[in-house]
Structure 1
Amino acid sequence: MTDVRFENTSATTQTNVPVTFGQVFAVGHLKAGEQLSGRLDDGTTVPLQVDVKAKHADGSIRHAVISAVLPSLAASTTRTMSLVKGGTAPTGSTSIDMLMRNGFSASVHAKLNGVDYYASADDLLKRSSATTWLSGPIATEWQVHAPLQTASGVQHPHLQARFAIRWFPGVNKARVDVVVENDWAYEPSPQNFTYDANVIVGGKSVYTKTGMVHFNHARWRKVFWFNGTEPQVDVKFNTAYLLDSKALPNYDRSLKIAESALTTLQKRWTGSNIEPMVGAGLAENYMPATGGRDDIGLLPGWGVSYLLSMDKRARMVTMGTADLAGTWSAHYRDKLTDKPVSLLDYPYMTIYGQASDTMNPTTGKREAFPACATTDGCKTTLTHDSAHQPAFAYLPYMLTGDYYYLEELQFWAMWNQFSSNPGYRQNVKGLLQQEQVRAQAWSLRTLAEAAYITPDSDRLKSHFTQILNSNLDWYNATYTNNTSANKLGIIVNGYALGYNNGSGMAPWMDDFFTSAVGHTADLGFDKATALLKWKAQFSVARMTAPGTCWIDGAPYALNVRTNSTSPFFTTYAEAYKATHTSDFVALACGSSAMAASLKLKVGEMTGYAAATAGYPANMQPALAYTANVMGTAGKTAWAVFMNRSVKPDYSTAAQFDIVPR
């Protein structure tokens, strides 16, 4: 089926090594009820605990969290474990009492305005009902949470602690995942809070931060180990299997990530920008900043570097930046459900518009979020949007099964919904159509990923699926199934026509959207396939349409009508001629004369052809998905594109290096 490799990153032999990782499975590969075992490279069988989280439509397993105890890992070596069907299910039992008998304790402390607030994981495990995330004889993870409170029991209205304690009874160790949040959606007077933080595990202080400014609607995370040190093991996945499962875009698996790129990632991972409530890791702190960069794409550049190399430096940056995604003020938790706030529960919620826009006629209540406590009380060092939003948490959750990353994905997917006027998005439908085309693209990507991988038992699964279907229905009704839609295959809603006085659009943004639709179709959402086929005609035409030239097939802007009120052109050739001078149109496509007029090499495309984030690179994923669904026409368009003379060196930044399946 597939395999996983375990690298001992220490210089000493480790025995009885506990590991937990996430794994996606292709449709039909692992049926419900089938036992899964691990087989090491020396033939040793390793019992596996498989916590199934999501299933495909046919009932087979889509995503699971797998736990094991490896018998031994020799110093500085890597062992391969095949995942095979059959074997015996692990046996044994565990309980919170067993954890407590080993002396477990963990707590969070915050000294705020001279007052000590705290929350104790061991007290919560003893006194309250814990939620179980993993359950079995190899690993059980209990989740508990509570407001920070004083010694006299006075609870802080905003600050809360969340603990996820993953207990491995066979080795008497526990992983302690600590999250501190300031993110209640409807708590009055939201604001930043400054405090001295201290985390204590097993009676020892393991993390301190003086003067931490905890941003509003944000959270921070740290992970520790109880009753022993953290296992020094790096989990490496079978990249080819992950890509073949279609859970991820089909990045060029023949590409080797440059050692210099991996070294650079490691060097960049330093300083205050990797501290919670300060920076955003490798993401752009000012998200709306323009220009090509490595955090934009279906996956960010560092995530693709990790996926294609399985290098521990790229993993560190990928997981670390996902941890720091909590620093952005994009986190709104519902006290009633204890989940990220949902559009289906509050269809009129928004962070924009007038308070009157948020009146829910069914309940007679306004769903506007409370205003900040003071004028400057919610200012932060980070600015986020949907038009330049990285895919922070999808890959990290897929490969770790960590609940924190799941909720990060859900928080961002819902923020993209309520960061718009309720009327424009048609309230509960959550339509994205009013946004910039690139915002529609990245919001659709995140929404589809949340619908795909959220556990089946999570109430938000159906919410994300409903919102996704509403959007796909809107796009198909507006374009795919609409005989009056433009014949070019371009998105023209929202702010699409903001170029050349309303006569032009940005093909590169449109390519972002096409790639997001292609990814959504790959995830198994059939309504996206029809939309992809309609969109693909634009990609094909730019490479092969008669009377045009693919050399300028990825321009910054393209005129698609004569003026802001005239009808759209009916052929790409008309748009091409309206965008170029007659002298340029008369040049032979790909000729030395055309190259000379553009001051480029023969066969070189315009739009920064050598750049890893240039306009031809932006186009590549759209063309790859086009080739998957458009038969001979799609394959021909891809062949033309691949014959260009100047291409990027994707070994340093591969987020757009997607190829046909």
Structure 2
Amino acid sequence: MPKHKVSSPPFTVQVQPAPVLSASFQVTAAQAGNNLPFTIGHAFRKGEIPAGSSAIGNIPELQVVPKNAWPDGSVKFAIVSGLTSFTAAGPKTIGLGIGQASTAVALSLADLKATGISAAIGAGNFGSAAWSGTDWDAPFMEWIRGPFMSSWIYRKPVGSDAHLVGWLEVRLYKGGAVEVLPWIENGYLTVAAPTNKNATYSFTLGGTQRFSAAFDLLNHTRTVLVSGTALSHWLGSDPKLTPTHDKAYLQAARLVPAYRGQLSSTATFWSSLAQTYTPLQQGNYPAGMGTAGYHGSIGLLPEWDAAYLASSDLRAYAGVIVNAYSAGRYGIHFRDERTQRPLRFSSYPNLVLDGSSGLAGTGASSKNTYTPTATGTTPPTWNSTHHPSVGFMAYLLTGRFYFMEEVQFAATVHYLKNTDTQRQFSAGVLLSNAGANTTRGAAWATRTLAQAACITPDSDTALRGEFLASLESNVNFYHGRYVAMANNPLGFVQPYSDYTTNGDGKYFEAAWMQDFFTASYGYALDMDLPLSATGKTRMREFFAWKARSIIGRLGGTAPTEYLYRDAAVYTVAIAPSDTPDYTGGTGPWFADWGQAYTATTGSPNSGIAGDLRGGYFPDATSYWGNLQPAIAYAVEHSVPGALDAYRRMTGAANWPLLVSSMNTQPVWSVRPRNA
């Protein structure tokens, strides 16, 4: 029996074609073939597949294994697998529906062994990890159980090395096809003497070497052992299928934002999108994470994930997967050697990163408890203030365990980098005024924490509970600071520092950082995570308060308002004092938005409506682009005044210029679904 089980209960399947719902996806074949296997991840709209119902397909050999449910019990996310035939190269649409399911026998470990599979990961002089025969009887975890596909996770130490571990995700399909994703990892949490591991790494499947490359695996990094256009290895022939989700449906399911931009197949974007993989490559990530200025990796989702949602180009799929693999180059992978999973916050209330793994802005431990100091080459910089969403979209598209853990590793490393007293120990509070975060760092770390809570399977109660508890602790802190007591009436959370020098009698903050924070909480609210009833209420109330910071900046022409035409400033005055009191909430604060406008621009509201201006308008990556997710979620969650503010912006005569630019760079083009 497996040591860990995070799979769903025994699965049932309908063998007759089902009534087709609005949910569907396509599978595109590179060539004709019979009974070709495939697996995708699939998000479902709330209520689409009610509790107690089964999702089935309009092809006979298809299974849908739920991993997460909405609070009402309906299916939220599932892993869909099946086999289908193609008479010629091209796409096939597969519909999903609700039907009466019949019991079928799931593929077993005995079926896996019957294929004669053997596999080995080599690491030069460090040794190897190999699987054959009875080794397959003891997986680390059963991931999927079904009649058309079952999968298991395997792990073994490499030789006698204390840090190197070889991992496999093995998918067995009906008919005997086997798909394997191998990876090598160098990232334990508290094992002494972490360092780089320079070797020639290899992967052998079924007695044939499928991969070999020499590279230096730095501390707390990992890489899949594939190269070129291959995204995994097959024991037999690769079926060469590319899935494409219903993009409108996926955005309607609310696990990702809804995008206005539509990227054409002739856009210059595609010429730079990574399509192949080399271990530890940079991909489309920045050469220096944290460098000032725009980069396409920044946003609720990075540009390569947004491009998948905003286009129909098949190249987008490879771009998502390859870049998710490329995230392994960062030293963020701190696996708890006691559980062999990403850490649980409650197990390490005082542990803080020692700062030797490429993490920028690490804090301090009140108990002097730090991760072991690493030696050797330092991994590329990971800066939480600029970090992208990693692995999340790839997991939604593929259902791969590897990508789920990538999201979890990112969420846990932000916990570890913060000073234990500031994060409130195991609560994992992400302070906007902490130097380890700043406003934008707290925003993006909250986004990542919410994503981890969203996709960790419901059956993984330990880790999922940790992420949800931390998110609720953040909600409670911010609600207590800004809603339960009077505080800045304009909706600005406390920044780390004043953007102007003391002595001018005004406190300036980056407006766009506050917009990132607003957007991250709006996005998390959209996911409808299973917080307590009190936690959900407080999250809605805090978001409504926070959304004032964008609604107010899109104000009207009255003297007490902030003129919408100038909403996209670099910095905005948030208090008429160099030292406003945020802890007690006493300020002093501006009496109205008109005062904030005058303090920001140097002139009172002119009272003249007109074109949007400043902030590098109409570039889609400008400050006008940066504020779109914040106002979109304010409208979507029906915050008072949001729709009027949004209409002032979109009613400007030059608004179409910004929309046009979004069709070339859609990453910031988040729109409200209800307007």
Evaluate the alpha carbon distance shift between residue 653 and residue 121 of structure 1 in structure 2; reply closer, same or farther with a 3 A threshold. Answer: farther
Which of 602, 622, 628 is the equivalent residue of 2:630?
622
1:62-81 alignment, distance < 5 Å: 62-70=76-84, 72-81=85-94
Q: Secondary structure at the match of 2:539?
A: helix
Partner Cα separation in structure 2 for residue 543 and residue 227 of structure 1: 58
CA-to-partner distance for each residue in 1:128-176, whole Å, 9 max, x for gaps?
3442101122111121101001xxxxx11111101111011x2211011
Q: Secondary structure at the match of 1:46?
A: coil
Q: Secondary structure at the match of 1:425?
A: coil
* Match of residue 411 from structure 1: 409
TM-fit CA distance, 1:225: 3.2
TM-score, length-scaled by structure 1:
0.88
Q: Is the 8 A contact 2:305 2:393 kept in 1?
A: yes
Q: Secondary structure at the match of 1:100?
A: helix
Partner Cα separation in structure 2 for residue 159 and residue 369 of structure 1: 17
Is 1:436 the equivalent of 2:438?
yes
Partner Cα separation in structure 1 for residue 545 and residue 344 of structure 2: 31
Partner Cα separation in structure 1 for residue 401 and residue 372 of structure 2: 27
Q: Is the 8 A contact 2:56 2:64 kept in 1?
A: no
Is 1:193 the equivalent of 2:192?
no
For residue 350 of structure 1, what is the amino acid of its counterpart? Answer: V
| Higher mean displacement: 321-330 or 310-319 | 310-319
CA-to-partner distance for each residue in 1:90-124, whole Å, 9 max, x for gaps?
6244332332332211111111xxx2511113267
TM-fit CA distance, 1:615: 0.5
* Match of residue 99 from structure 2: 86
For residue 245 of structure 1, what is the amino acid of its counterpart? Answer: A
1:63-462 alignment, distance < 5 Å: 63-70=77-84, 72-89=85-102, 91-111=104-124, 115=125, 117-122=127-132, 125-126=135-136, 128-149=138-159, 155-168=160-173, 170-210=174-214, 212-221=215-224, 222=226, 223-252=231-260, 255-261=261-267, 264-269=269-274, 274-277=277-280, 279-352=281-354, 358=365, 367-372=369-374, 374=375, 377-380=376-379, 382-433=380-431, 434=434, 435-458=437-460, 459-462=462-465
Q: Secondary structure at the match of 2:476?
A: helix
CA-to-partner distance for each residue in 1:449-495, whole Å, 9 max, x for gaps?
11122101212100000000000100111112212x011111124x1
Which of 502, 505, 516 is the equivalent residue of 1:512?
516
For residue 559 of structure 1, what is the amino acid of its counterpart? Answer: A
Evaluate the alpha carbon distance shift between residue 123 and residue 102 of structure 1 in structure 2; reply closer, same or farther with a 3 A threshold. Answer: closer
Evaluate the alpha carbon distance shift between residue 499 and residue 24 of structure 1 in structure 2; reply closer, same or farther with a 3 A threshold. Answer: farther
Which of 532, 538, 558 is the equivalent residue of 2:549?
538
* Match of residue 16 from structure 2: none
TM-fit CA distance, 1:397: 0.8
Evaluate the alpha carbon distance shift between residue 401 and residue 124 of structure 1 in structure 2; reply closer, same or farther with a 3 A threshold. Answer: farther
Q: Is the 8 A contact 1:202 1:226 kept in 2?
A: no
Q: Secondary structure at the match of 1:474?
A: helix
TM-fit CA distance, 1:240: 1.9
For residue 263 of structure 2, what is the amino acid of its counterpart? Answer: I
Q: Secondary structure at the match of 1:371?
A: coil
Q: Is the 8 A contact 1:172 1:227 kept in 2?
A: no
Partner Cα separation in structure 2 for residue 24 and residue 270 of structure 1: 25
For residue 177 of structure 1, what is the amino acid of its counterpart? Answer: L
TM-fit CA distance, 1:371: 1.1
* Match of residue 480 from structure 1: 483
| Higher mean displacement: 545-554 or 213-222 | 545-554
Q: Secondary structure at the match of 1:157?
A: coil
CA-to-partner distance for each residue in 1:381-406, whole Å, 9 max, x for gaps?
x1111111111111111121100000
Partner Cα separation in structure 2 for residue 499 and residue 138 of structure 1: 62
Evaluate the alpha carbon distance shift between residue 53 and residue 7 of structure 1 in structure 2; reply closer, same or farther with a 3 A threshold. Answer: closer
Q: Secondary structure at the match of 2:575?
A: coil
* Match of residue 529 from structure 1: 540
Q: Is the 8 A contact 1:107 1:201 kept in 2?
A: yes
- Counting aligned pairs with the same residue, the percent is 28
CA-to-partner distance for each residue in 1:274-316, whole Å, 9 max, x for gaps?
4222x33111131111111211111111111101224221111
Partner Cα separation in structure 1 for residue 366 and residue 167 of structure 2: 32
Partner Cα separation in structure 1 for residue 75 and residue 524 of structure 2: 19
Partner Cα separation in structure 2 for residue 217 and residue 240 of structure 1: 37
Q: Secondary structure at the match of 2:466?
A: helix
For residue 541 of structure 1, what is the amino acid of its counterpart? Answer: G
Partner Cα separation in structure 2 for residue 499 and residue 402 of structure 1: 47
* Match of residue 47 from structure 2: 28
For residue 379 of structure 1, what is the amino acid of its counterpart? Answer: T
Q: Is the 8 A contact 1:520 1:528 kept in 2?
A: no
TM-fit CA distance, 1:88: 4.0
Structure 2: segments with no counterpart, 5+ residues: 1-20, 357-361, 530-535, 581-587
Q: Secondary structure at the match of 2:232?
A: strand
Is 1:654 the equivalent of 2:657?
no
Q: Is the 8 A contact 1:165 1:176 kept in 2?
A: yes
Q: Is the 8 A contact 2:363 2:418 kept in 1?
A: no
Partner Cα separation in structure 1 for residue 553 and residue 642 of structure 2: 11
Q: Secondary structure at the match of 1:530?
A: helix
Which of 577, 592, 602 is the equivalent residue of 1:581?
602
* Match of residue 585 from structure 2: none
* Match of residue 9 from structure 2: none
Q: Is the 8 A contact 1:350 1:418 kept in 2?
A: yes
Evaluate the alpha carbon distance shift between residue 632 and residue 489 of structure 1 in structure 2; reply closer, same or farther with a 3 A threshold. Answer: closer
Evaluate the alpha carbon distance shift between residue 417 and residue 130 of structure 1 in structure 2; reply closer, same or farther with a 3 A threshold. Answer: closer
Q: Is the 8 A contact 2:185 2:223 kept in 1?
A: yes
Structure 1: segments with no counterpart, 5+ residues: 40-44, 150-154, 361-365, 592-602
Q: Secondary structure at the match of 2:127?
A: strand
Q: Is the 8 A contact 1:550 1:589 kept in 2?
A: no
Q: Is the 8 A contact 1:394 1:449 kept in 2?
A: yes
Q: Is the 8 A contact 2:25 2:243 kept in 1?
A: yes
| Higher mean displacement: 115-124 or 610-619 | 115-124
Partner Cα separation in structure 2 for residue 633 and residue 133 of structure 1: 46
* Match of residue 18 from structure 2: none
CA-to-partner distance for each residue in 1:218-277, whole Å, 9 max, x for gaps?
11013533332222211111222222222111222xx4212233x643544268xx4222
Partner Cα separation in structure 2 for residue 353 and residue 219 of structure 1: 18
Q: Is the 8 A contact 2:514 2:549 kept in 1?
A: no
Partner Cα separation in structure 1 for residue 508 and residue 169 of structure 2: 51
Q: Secondary structure at the match of 1:260?
A: coil
How many residues matched? 614
Q: Secondary structure at the match of 1:309?
A: coil
Q: Is the 8 A contact 2:40 2:398 kept in 1?
A: yes
Is 1:554 the equivalent of 2:555?
no
* Match of residue 568 from structure 1: 589
Evaluate the alpha carbon distance shift between residue 371 and residue 633 of structure 1 in structure 2; reply closer, same or farther with a 3 A threshold. Answer: same
Evaluate the alpha carbon distance shift between residue 297 and residue 16 of structure 1 in structure 2; reply closer, same or farther with a 3 A threshold. Answer: same
Evaluate the alpha carbon distance shift between residue 310 and residue 186 of structure 1 in structure 2; reply closer, same or farther with a 3 A threshold. Answer: farther
Partner Cα separation in structure 2 for residue 443 and residue 513 of structure 1: 10
CA-to-partner distance for each residue in 1:487-510, whole Å, 9 max, x for gaps?
1111124x1534454720111110
CA-to-partner distance for each residue in 1:42-92, whole Å, 9 max, x for gaps?
xxx42422222111222221111111111x123232111110111544624
Evaluate the alpha carbon distance shift between residue 356 and residue 511 of structure 1 in structure 2; reply closer, same or farther with a 3 A threshold. Answer: closer
Provide the aligned C-alpha RMSD in A.
2.2
TM-score, length-scaled by structure 2:
0.87
